Amino acid sequence: MTSKVTESFKIADTDGHSDDVSRRIFMKRLGKNAGVGMLAGGSLLRAADATRGEEVASSMPHHEYAKHDATSLASLVRTGEVSAEELLNAAIQRLETVNPQINAIAGRMYDEARTAIRQGLPRGPFTGVPLPVKDISFPMNGVPSEYGSKLFADRRPKRDSTAIERLKRAGFVPFARTRVPELGILPTTESTYGGITRNPFALNHTAGGSSGGSAAAVAAEITPIATASDGGGSIRIPAACCGLFGLKPTRARVPTGPNGFEAWGGLAVLHAITRSVRDSAALLDVMSGSAAGDPYAAPHHDGTFLRQVLHKPGKLRIALVKTMNPTTDVDAECLQALQESADLCESLGHTVEETTDDFNRQFSFQELRNSHGMTVLVAVRRRVLARLEELGRELRHDDLEPVTRFYHDYAEQYTAVELENARNAFFRAARKMSDFQTRYDVIMTPTLATPPIKHGEICMTGTAQQVLDGLLEFIPCTQMANWTGQPAMSVPLNQTKSGLPIGTHFMGRFGDEGTLFQLAGQLENARPWDNQRPGLAAVKAD
């Protein structure tokens, strides 16, 4: 039986060669190139320098490296045009060049990455591709997982998560950890412990959160792909801020085990931020599918998500929703970008109907937002208490940032009945959403109500009320997909007059990532965004 991963591998081999043909070409090149030796797993290294007896470090030139998405880089490794170590060195050199400006990286795993290459990488759809890993949601055996928090400094999980196991099996080479806000709570990435992660397009503006480090790393061309997670928009928000593609999968599409079954009570899911649509789809093929012992699974998907990118979606019925209650003030440039995206969709043959008022009447937004807050606060308290148990001590006044500490203390008052009521509010919303989408295939909204905000506007050193107000003003639309469990994506179709990225947000039916990938592929082809690079070397603080 052909697995999804194997099928993705075959599609991703864009050279069109069979495995045997690719191997013959590889060996022919190997014979022609003096000073090249082969290691286990098929990766190439420059031979030892004849005069010094030392290994000569080589890397792919950045101007070439940055042209490729992850699928293309893997194809180069597969055909022997570059080695896994050359890609790793290219990623490391770029990281060390740009990270002082953007602070996207929480930790380095260079030695572990080189060891993995020397020992031989699995043959998969992404063999040899360097991968930054978000410093929360993706525990790795023996690697610090600090959650952007002093309390979790140097915390080292004792095993890989299921997601990391699958990513390594696909051939990825994890080599760095990316910054997050404390405990992944905020839609920005700044903390007293980890500092401020800056947007490569404008250093005084946020890269988004909580996967801001991952988005900044991809936008700054360290790699074309990085892992991310999303409990209220944390894939889509930074993707929109940094001009990237970000898809939040259906609830339970990607397992969060083995040490947990739900993240944030089922609100949070795992995936990635990418430059290309096909990378996102191929990665979901790698990561998706329930694991043994999971309490429930996402609806079955036939075939591969990668194949969906190549298919046109047909004529879609799209509901246009300009904002969600109680937020009424959306930035004029964001509304203009939304309308331009709607016009683009209509030019592709889809029908777009504004349904803002009708949509907002369907849902009890105050109840849903309160339920979201309750669920997150309880999850934060649970995680903090578990860490204190590991350390064998009480909470100290400087362990957490002020708002995080407030959240932790406030959550003590919630009862089990209140938490169960919150879960039921989400389930009721999911049924209403399902009813609403009998009339529409896709719902379109702004990803953000404003362009990327400046640093300090939403952070954990202020007050809880300031954070709440900031959330409503900045991200009124992304949380709905977490409440209902449906897939959603931010597509980088527009920019402000000053050059800041603006994302357009699309939500699909529960379990229907396929339609979103079809639409995203169509939009990417109609309005390519890959040439919208920040030119980081020339970026200055405004």
**Per-residue model confidence as pLDDT tens digits over 435-455:** 999 999 999 999 999 999 999
How far apart, in whole angstroms, are the C-alpha atoms of residue 209 and residue 201? 15
> Among 478, 491, 488, which Cα is nearest to 522's?
491
Count of domains forming the chain:
1
Mean pLDDT for the stretch of residues 159-173: 98
Residue 537: the pLDDT is 54
Give me the CATH number covering residue 229.
Answer: 3.90.1300.10
Mean pLDDT for the stretch of residues 87-104: 98
Q: Which residues of 309-334 are buried (b: 16+ CB within 10 A; e: fewer)?
A: beeebeebebbbbbbbbebeebbebb
Cα separations (Å) of 93 from 59, 65, 223, 422, 540? 8, 11, 11, 47, 21
Residue 27: the pLDDT is 34
**pLDDT beyond 90 at 1:** no
Residue 47: the pLDDT is 30
Q: Which helix (H) or strand (E) holds 384?
A: helix 365-391
12-16, 68-72, 166-170, 318-322: which range is least confident on average? Answer: 12-16
Residue 37: the pLDDT is 30
Residue 30: the pLDDT is 33
Mean pLDDT for the stretch of residues 130-150: 97
pLDDT in tens, 301-335: 989 999 999 999 999 999 999 999 999 999 999 99
**pLDDT beyond 60 at 166:** yes
**Where in the sequence numbering do the catalytic residues fall?**
134, 210, 234
Residue 259: the pLDDT is 85
How far apart, in whole angstroms, are the C-alpha atoms of residue 489 and residue 486? 10
The predicted model scores a pTM of: 0.90
Torsion angles phi and psi, residue 152, rounded to 5: -105, 15
pLDDT above 70 covers what percent of the chain? 88
Q: Which domain holds residue 403?
A: 4-538
Residue 353: the pLDDT is 98
Asked whether the beta carbons of 461 and 487 are under 8 A apart, the reply is no
